[in-house]
Chains A and B, each alone.
Chain A
Amino acid sequence: MERYDLIVIGAGPAGLSAAIEAAKNGARAAVFDENERPGGQLFKQIHKFFGSKEHKAKIRGFKIGNDLLKEAGEWGVKVVLNATVIGLYPEKEITVRIGEKILHYKGDSVLIATGASENMVTFEGWTKPGVIGAGAAQTMMNLHHIKPGNKVLMLGSGNVGLVVSYQLMQAGCKVVAVVDAAPRIGGYGVHAAKLARCGVPFYLSHTIVRAAGTEAVEGVTIAQVDESFRFVPETEKTFEVDTVCVAVGLSPMSQLLKQAGCRMKDTPGGLIPDCDEYGATSVPGIFAAGDVAGIEEASSAMIEGRISGAMIAGYLGYLEEKAAHTRVEELEKALESLRKGMFAPENRGKFMKKTEEGIDTSVSLLEHGFLADNEVEKYPGVIRKAGTHPVIECTQNIPCNPCQDACPKGCISIGSNITSLPVVDGTAECIGCGMCVASCSGQAIFLVEEKCEDGYGTVTLPYEFLPLPAAGQKGIALGRDGTRICEAEVVKVRSAQAFDHTSLLTMKVPSDMVMKARFFKAV
């Protein structure tokens, strides 16, 4: 039987990273994935990632996927696609369906990185065609280029719900509302703000009562819920939609681990293997990394994969124990920094009343998806001064810092603590290059010039929709809450390779609107 030093099941961010790390140290590694394309969820992620440089911040997910594949190739990792692992047996033997055959392979070590599947919720009509998972919608759009529907209601305000809602809009769908039974938005505020300023309403403490329609979904009714998640009478609202997207969390696809006899533990986040900090399960030589070992983001999955890969290289004797630990320590630092801030695992679901800087958290952002106009200036990224300058509406402590490196003039600083809020230095000179605007994965940076001509100023904002407006085009400026606040005219639209598909749209609005106008809508 063909045997590898390391068999990896799942060519997603964790699996590929582990295989690369092990192969770098000399291990013969093969990665099996049931999909036509490798990369797992990465190839569905068309948005820019958060983090720091070492976390591939501001790079779009699919690009990270391509880079990983290239690296895997360079280190001689064998990536076998359309290869469904159907069983994991004693002696670390796998059976794989490849084409019309079943093949058997063995590994001296096996890393399971099978990822997660979407959770479902039940409501009247949940089985009707048109009710789909958010991940499924993302697959349809970003992998198969199919529009999931025309009018969509999103259930779930976690990062998946928020990111997919935005992508639905980019694909040309109308998102009628984002609904969540929780009292506060679960995902990053900046993701919510991107939707809110385009006019998407948020309904927190609301959930779906029913999806109606004869053959398929034609409408959806939501209602408010109380603290015990019971419907509050007479709060029903009905939307005409053809699609209901459900983004209510993920469950690890840990079946293979259970099958292999690894000790498992049941957690609120799903059934996961009982692993040590390096991903080693209770069965010697079987490891787990990425979402299958506990749901997190792709960024942490990649580091987890590297850690497991280094440990596996050590386990197989390709790396001295000491060297393996040194490498792991280095990686753990990177992982730790990703797990910091308001959205750190230990803060999940908690209401953080103040930022690390001691500033009050914006309740409006948490409950409605946008910063109230009168609270923006509390944050250190927002200053007012003459001439062009960045306005950074970044108000939550998340591990992300590309903006401070983006500014060639040193206007922006975050410091050594990666979760600190960016601070704009009013004394530094902004040249209006817009690199900071394009670098912000949360699209929370704007360039503002209060007075460019008599009574008018400009706002430069990140723009990721098609068709791209042209200079001279007249339209409406929308506020942070998506309401129309004034007339606006596009002054210029900049696209550059360095902006990585984010265009910078500069619009002219009355001077008293520059701190309020945050989106341009053509009419």
Chain B
Amino acid sequence: MVDVQEKLKAIGPYREEPDDDMLICRCEEVTKGEIRQAVHAGMFTMEEIRRYLRTGMGLCQGQTCGKLVKGIVARELKVSPLDIEPATSRVPMRPTEMKILARDGGACDE
């Protein structure tokens, strides 16, 4: 169980850092500072960070930034990146046009 209030107290307040304006998620243009602030607002999981900031929700689905975001969140929470559950992966593995998906005969089609 994770008590959010206790954890927020333990990690202390957000403090600005010189590279906070560095872009981390290129697809959705999310900066390091935004990620750090989100952690201090109680977004502790990759799922929450994604939903709150849209990191990894763009075209590349976090292929580039996933590890970077995890690293930043882990540092902010003062834990190892391995303690942070990676984001879910979802169909389709590659962005696919609606018209292509629509052309799917399903199980009976060769």
| Any A CB within 8 A of the CB of B19 | yes
0 or 1 for each of B71-110: is its CB under 8 Å from A? (1 = yes): 0000000000110011011111110100111011011111
Size of chain B's interface in residues, with CB distance under 8 A?
Answer: 33
If A102-B104, A103-B109, A122-B32 touch, whether A97 touches B96 (CB-CB below 8 Å) is yes
Chain B positions within 8 Å of A122 at CB level: 19, 22, 24, 32, 68
Chain B positions within 8 Å of A104 at CB level: 104, 106-107, 109
Interface size class of A (residues with CB under 8 A): 20 to 34
Within 8 A of B (CB), among A260-297: 264, 266-268, 270-271
If A104-B107, A127-B26, A268-B82 touch, whether A117 touches B63 (CB-CB below 8 Å) is yes
Interface majority SS (helix, strand, loop, mixed), chain A: strand
In the complex, are the beta carbons of B23 and A86 less than 8 A apart?
no
| Any B CB within 8 A of the CB of A466 | no
| Complex Cα gap A159–B106 (Å) | 44
| Complex Cα gap A120–B109 (Å) | 40
CB within 8 A of B103: which of A102, A120, A256? Answer: A102
Chain A positions within 8 Å of B65 at CB level: 120
In the complex, are the beta carbons of A255 and B93 less than 8 A apart?
yes
In the complex, are the beta carbons of B100 and A251 less than 8 A apart?
no
If A102-B104, A117-B63, A122-B32 touch, whether A86 touches B24 (CB-CB below 8 Å) is no
| Complex Cα gap A124–B94 (Å) | 29
| Complex Cα gap A173–B109 (Å) | 50
In the complex, are the beta carbons of B88 and A258 less than 8 A apart?
yes
If A87-B93, A95-B91 touch, whether A1 touches B107 (CB-CB below 8 Å) is yes
| Any A CB within 8 A of the CB of B67 | yes
In the complex, are the beta carbons of B22 and A124 less than 8 A apart?
yes
| Complex Cα gap A193–B26 (Å) | 36
If A104-B109, A267-B82 touch, whether A255 touches B89 (CB-CB below 8 Å) is yes
| Any B CB within 8 A of the CB of A101 | yes
| Any B CB within 8 A of the CB of A259 | yes
A80 CB, min distance to chain B CBs, angstroms: 13
If A101-B100, A102-B101, A119-B67 touch, whether A266 touches B19 (CB-CB below 8 Å) is no
Chain B positions within 8 Å of A126 at CB level: 22-23
| Any B CB within 8 A of the CB of A227 | no
| Any B CB within 8 A of the CB of A440 | no
Which residue of chain B lies nearest to A105 when distances are taken between CB atoms in the complex? B110
Which residue of chain A lies nearest to B86 when distances are taken between CB atoms in the complex? A271
Which residue of chain A lies nearest to B80 when distances are taken between CB atoms in the complex? A268
| Complex Cα gap A34–B96 (Å) | 13
| Complex Cα gap A87–B88 (Å) | 14
In the complex, are the beta carbons of A103 and B100 less than 8 A apart?
no
Which residue of chain A lies nearest to B83 when distances are taken between CB atoms in the complex? A266
A40 CB, min distance to chain B CBs, angstroms: 16
Which residue of chain A lies nearest to B95 when distances are taken between CB atoms in the complex? A86
A273 CB, min distance to chain B CBs, angstroms: 12
Which residue of chain A lies nearest to B65 when distances are taken between CB atoms in the complex? A120
| Any B CB within 8 A of the CB of A215 | no
| Any B CB within 8 A of the CB of A234 | no
In the complex, are the beta carbons of A124 and B82 less than 8 A apart?
no
| Any B CB within 8 A of the CB of A100 | yes
Chain B positions within 8 Å of A102 at CB level: 96, 100-101, 103-104
In the complex, are the beta carbons of B104 and A259 less than 8 A apart?
no
Chain B positions within 8 Å of A103 at CB level: 104, 109-110
Chain B positions within 8 Å of A119 at CB level: 67
| Any B CB within 8 A of the CB of A85 | yes
Which residue of chain B lies nearest to A268 when distances are taken between CB atoms in the complex? B82
In the complex, are the beta carbons of B109 and A266 less than 8 A apart?
no
| Any B CB within 8 A of the CB of A357 | no
A97 CB, min distance to chain B CBs, angstroms: 6
0 or 1 for each of A489-519: is its CB under 8 Å from B? (1 = yes): 0000000000000000000000000000000
Which residue of chain B lies nearest to A249 when distances are taken between CB atoms in the complex? B67
Show 26 residue pairs from A and B whose CB-CB distance is below 8 angstroms, ordered by the A residue: A2-B110, A34-B94, A84-B93, A84-B94, A86-B92, A86-B94, A87-B93, A95-B91, A97-B96, A101-B103, A102-B100, A102-B101, A104-B106, A104-B109, A120-B64, A122-B68, A124-B19, A126-B23, A251-B67, A256-B89, A256-B93, A259-B89, A259-B90, A266-B82, A266-B86, A268-B82
Question: What 3 A-B pairs are tightest by C-beta distance, nearest first?
Answer: A255-B89, A86-B92, A87-B91
Q: A104-B104, A119-B67, A267-B82 are known contacts; what are 4 more A-B pairs with Cβ within 8 Å?
A: A86-B91, A101-B100, A102-B96, A259-B89
Listed in ascending order, the chain A residues whose CB lies under 8 Å from chain B are: 1-2, 34, 84-87, 95, 97, 100-104, 117, 119-120, 122, 124, 126-127, 251, 255-256, 258-259, 264, 266-268, 270-271
